Amino acid sequence: MRKYFFIIMALCFCFNSYAHKDKQRLETHGNIKTACKATFHYSVFEKVIAIGILSEKLAKELNFKDTLLIEVRKPHSENFENDSYQFDVNNSAYQFIFESYYESLYKADGMAIRIQAKDINITDVLKLVEYAILNKKKLDKMQLTEKIYDYFDNTFLGKYKYIPKEELAKIWNNQSDLITKIINEKIPLSVEDESGLGIYWQNNNFIFGRNYRKGEIDNKTLLIPNYYYFTSKGSSGLIFLNNTQFYHMGYYQNLFIENAEPINLPVFIDSELFNKLIFYNSRQLFLLLIDKKKVISDFENCQ
């Protein structure tokens, strides 16, 4: 009977498909503006929060008072391979959030760092911020220009500048004493929820902890260098490193789970009962047997 109960639930979830618009978030930290856009609330949003907070501290240390926009867009396709980093020396207007990928529709005083990438590294972006502040006159000369044409009819769409990979590597490989100093500060990325679970970042690690505000690290605290997607409900949290590996954060312990089959993200938690967690995506229901660290998903698929 219980088996059929879960199958019925699975079918209900499958027929309830959900439409969505891209998520975007704009913030201002002193003279630093940040903008982030992605299909769902992936970890890039938390990363941009940390980048904005730390870039403001970096700007103060370097006595930089102009406006700087850091704009990040995560492409829709997971097969996207052409990560693009750009210095826009004389324009801090938002561009990606208006779906204008090649040329700015508006102008605003200041400069911008524009990024289109599947994933970003907080410290690497901070190094770009430091480099841009210290070397503004060199930025245009180091970039290349590419023209973009429509795939089907070869219509000219526009052009954009980008930082060559070898120049990016030089910036990222540079050791900065100033950045090493500021990343030691613990940055809160989310408000602790009703169960006390919050996300922080410090010294190239994400910290998932309950009641961690006092800095206590125990078996309820998880330190990881990167993650892809996080969702929580009640006392349970799921932290995905990719679509097959994730952590289950319970109130008393954290468990690492590796699933044989990829799980389409994002997922959302429905409920947890008797060491079993029910979660789902737009087409499928999953049952996590917590004690066995096993995911069951062999329900009938919706067509």
pLDDT at residue 6, as a whole number: 46
3-class SS letters over the chain: CHHHHHHHHHHHHHHCCCCCCCEEEEEEECCEEEEEEECCCCCHHHHHHHHHHHHHHHHHHCCCCCCEEEEEECCCCCCCCCCEEEEECCCCCCCHHHCCCCCCCCCCCCEEEEEECCCCCHHHHHHHHHHHHHCHHHHHHHCEEEEEECCCCCCEEEEEEECCHHHHHHHHHCCCHHHHHHCCCCEECCCCCCCCEEEEEECCEEEEEECHHHCCCCCCCEEECCCCEEEEECCEEEEECCCCEEEEECCCCEEEEECCCCCCCCCEEEEEECCEEEEECCCCEEEEECCCCEEECCCCCCC
Q: Does the structure show a pLDDT above 60 at 89?
A: yes
Confidence class for position 8, pLDDT limits 50, 70, 90: very low
pLDDT at residue 1, as a whole number: 40
Give the tens place of pLDDT for each residue, 171-209: 999 999 999 999 999 999 987 766 678 899 999 999 998
Rounded to whole angstroms, the Cα distance separating 189 from 207 reads: 10
CB 281 within 8 A of CB 263: yes
Tokens of 262: 């990829």
Share of the chain above pLDDT 90, in %: 62
Residue in the structure block whose two tokens are 């969702």:
231
Q: Does the structure show a pLDDT above 90 at 2?
A: no
Rounded to whole angstroms, the Cα distance separating 264 from 301 reads: 13
pLDDT at residue 79, as a whole number: 66
219: Cβ contacts below 8 Å, ≥ 6 apart: 252, 253, 254
**Degrees (nearest 5) of the Cα angle 6, 7, 9?**
65
Rounded to whole angstroms, the Cα distance separating 246 from 238 reads: 7
Tokens of 76: 């829709």
Across the range 142-169, mean pLDDT stands at 85
Candidate from 35-44, 71-80, 138-147, 285-294 with smallest mean pLDDT: 71-80
pLDDT at residue 105, as a whole number: 66
pLDDT at residue 5, as a whole number: 46
Give the tens place of pLDDT for each residue, 22-71: 889 999 999 999 999 998 889 999 999 999 999 999 999 999 999 999 99
Q: State the greatest distance between any 2 C-alpha atoms of the chain, in Å, as a whole number.
A: 71
Across the range 72-84, mean pLDDT stands at 80
Q: Locate the domains of the chain by residue range.
A: 23-182, 186-296
Across the range 277-297, mean pLDDT stands at 93
Q: How much is the pTM?
A: 0.87
Confidence class for position 90, pLDDT limits 50, 70, 90: very high
Give the tens place of pLDDT for each residue, 204-231: 999 998 766 555 566 678 999 999 999 9
Tokens of 144: 């290349």
Find the length of the chain.
303
